[in-house]
């Protein structure tokens, strides 16, 4: 009878088997990864050191930057190293650890986006009560709940994986470990596991996206009563949040709401939400949020580079 320990390591096929394309993948994703770390570090340090970015929205944005950097770090380094390796091997324990990290930091980012939407709802729809409702204590509790929720979600994914039996083959047609490609290798019946997987990841992800979009519909509807200046500022902020949410949720819904079926584009869609979105988020928030751009100019012109040089970008 097969047991989960029958296979002690897996082989990751990566994005392609073409040696020339693998060299391109190495260069491109190394640049992407370094830019992701730098961009999210830049945002986090700017928020921590700038007195004009002390609102709860930027407090939550710090955690979004952290989760983005960690999510990218969960997959990109392995992809980069494997692109130059002849044998792309990952141990069973390493596979489970990677799966946990991807779902933990991915879920953390999703929950932080919901917290940011709630913050914007209170700020725009209940402006007189904003400082009372969104106090430091409540923000801390909300972030703690996001940590707990992420842990519970990722732990459930690990639990589902550990209940699968692997007896070979051990080749994963992906560039990182996830429940769906692992189910294809399982020797045991995966019907129940697949049902639980879709219920846990797919339904929750879709529900969160619907709730998030509904909240922004309410927020944008309330802008009709605002002045022109307040409306433009709120639209700029909300549009950034909606763009980030769409980039994050779209690929996740595509991957995790299907039954046990895989497509050839799944790996490239996964690249988008595990690596590319983490790179784009800092650009979206710096280019579309005036307060962040202003704070960066003030903070980093004093610390690293002349203000007139920064002003050219």
Sorted by sequence, the CB contacts under 8 Å of residue 22 that are 6+ apart come out as 14, 16, 83, 84
Per-residue model confidence as pLDDT tens digits over 235-250: 777 777 788 888 888 8
Which of the given ranges, 61-75, 198-212, 233-247, has the highest pLDDT on average?
61-75
pLDDT confidence bin for 2, thresholds 50/70/90: very low
Report the CATH number of the 9-310 domain: 1.20.1070.10
Tell me the C-alpha distance between 37 and 32, whole Å: 9
Lookup result for tokens 């697949």: 194
Least trusted range by pLDDT, from 85-89, 157-161, 197-201: 197-201
Lookup result for tokens 């710096």: 286
What angle, rounded to 10 degrees, do the helices at 136-162 and 56-82 form? Answer: 30
Tell me the C-alpha distance between 296 and 185, whole Å: 48
- Predicted local confidence at residue 282, as pLDDT: 81
Q: What is the mean pLDDT of residues 197-219?
A: 83
Tell me the C-alpha distance between 79 and 26, whole Å: 8
Per-residue model confidence as pLDDT tens digits over 214-227: 888 888 787 776 66
Residues in the chain: 313
Per-residue model confidence as pLDDT tens digits over 275-290: 988 888 888 877 667 7
CA–CA distances in Å: residue 169 to residues 95, 166, 223: 15, 8, 57
More confident call, 274 vs 225: 274
- Predicted local confidence at residue 304, as pLDDT: 52
User: With 60 as the cut, is the pLDDT of residue 13 above it?
Assistant: yes
Model pTM greater than 0.95? no
Copy the structure tokens of residue 179.
């429940």
Per-residue model confidence as pLDDT tens digits over 179-201: 888 888 888 777 778 888 777 78
- Predicted local confidence at residue 101, as pLDDT: 96
Beta bridge partners of 171: 11
């Amino acid at each position: 009878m097969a047991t989960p320990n029958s296979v002690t390591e897996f082989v990751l096929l990566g994005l392609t088997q073409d040696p020339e394309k693998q060299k391109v993948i190495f260069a491109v994703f190394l640049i992407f990864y370094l830019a992701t770390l730098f961009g999210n570090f830049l945002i986090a340090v700017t928020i921590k050191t700038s007195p004009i970015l002390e609102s709860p929205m930027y407090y939550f944005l710090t955690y979004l930057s952290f989760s983005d950097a960690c999510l990218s770090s969960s997959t990109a380094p392995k992809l980069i190293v494997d692109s130059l390796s002849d044998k792309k091997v990952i141990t069973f324990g390493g596979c489970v650890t990677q799966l946990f990290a991807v779902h933990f930091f991915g879920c953390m980012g999703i929950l932080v986006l919901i917290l940011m939407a709630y913050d914007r709802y209170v700020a725009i729809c209940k402006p007189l009560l904003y400082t009372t409702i969104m106090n430091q204590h409540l923000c801390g509790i909300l972030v703690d709940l996001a940590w707990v929720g992420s842990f519970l979600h990722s732990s459930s994914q690990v639990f589902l994986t550990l209940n699968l039996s692997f007896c070979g083959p051990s080749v994963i047609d992906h560039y990182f470990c996830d429940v769906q490609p692992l189910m294809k290798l399982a020797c045991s019946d995966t019907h129940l596991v697949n049902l639980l997987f879709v219920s846990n990841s797919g339904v929750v992800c879709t529900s969160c996206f619907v709730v998030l979009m509904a909240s922004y519909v309410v927020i944008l509807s309330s802008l009709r009563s605002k002045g022109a200046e307040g409306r433009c500022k709120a639209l700029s902020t909300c549009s950034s949040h909606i763009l980030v949410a769409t980039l994050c949720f779209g690929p996740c819904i595509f991957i995790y709401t299907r039954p046990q079926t895989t497509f050839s584009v799944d790996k490239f869609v996964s690249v988008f939400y595990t690596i590319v979105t983490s790179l784009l988020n800092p650009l979206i928030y710096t280019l579309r949020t005036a307060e962040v751009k202003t704070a960066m100019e003030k903070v980093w012109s004093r610390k690293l580079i002349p203000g007139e040089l920064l002003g050219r970008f």
